[in-house]
C-alpha cells in the first residue's frame, strides 16, 4: 500500500545546478546529415539562440570478468555527431538535438509545478 504521508521539501538554496530530461531513440541519420531548420522554426519563438558542436561519440567494450585494473578498453565504434543546441534568450533553458537523443535542460529549476 502506498505511503500517502509524502511531504515535499523546497530548499531555500536549491542544490541543483542543472536539471536534464533526455529522450533516447534509435539513430536518425538525417539529423546528423542536415541542419534541423524545420525543428528550429517550430521552437524559435522561445529558443532564439543556436549553436552546433561537432562531437566524437565512442562505444567502448570491456570484459565483465577479471580485475578492472587489468582490463584494456576496446573501442568498438567511433563516430562524429552534430549536437544542435537551441537556447532561450536568458540561456537558462536549452534543447539539444542529436541523431540519438533530444534533451531539455534548465539551470532555473525550482520544482516540478513551476516548469
- Residue 85: inside a domain: yes
- Residue 2: inside a domain: no
* Predicted TM-score (pTM) of this structure: 0.74
- Per the structure, the count of domains in the chain is 1
Q: Which domain holds residue 26?
A: 19-60+73-114
pLDDT (tens digit per residue) in 60-111:
776 666 666 666 767 666 788 999 999 999 999 999 999 999 999 999 887 7
- Residue 34: inside a domain: yes
- Residue 104: inside a domain: yes
- Residue 101: inside a domain: yes
Distance of CA 72 to CAs 56, 65, 78, Å? 20, 12, 17
Amino acid at each position: 500500500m502506498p505511503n500517502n504521508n509524502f511531504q515535499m521539501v523546497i530548499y531555500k538554496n536549491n542544490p541543483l545546478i542543472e536539471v536534464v530530461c533526455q529522450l533516447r531513440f534509435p539513430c536518425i541519420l538525417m539529423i546528423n546529415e542536415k541542419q534541423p531548420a524545420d525543428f528550429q522554426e517550430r521552437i524559435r519563438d522561445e529558443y532564439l539562440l543556436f549553436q552546433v558542436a561537432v562531437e566524437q561519440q565512442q562505444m567502448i567494450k570491456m570484459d565483465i570478468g577479471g580485475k578492472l585494473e587489468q582490463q584494456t578498453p576496446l573501442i568498438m565504434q567511433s563516430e562524429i555527431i552534430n549536437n544542435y543546441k537551441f537556447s532561450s534568450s536568458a540561456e537558462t533553458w536549452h534543447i539539444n538535438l542529436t541523431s540519438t537523443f533530444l534533451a531539455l535542460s534548465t539551470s532555473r529549476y525550482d520544482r516540478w509545478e513551476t516548469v
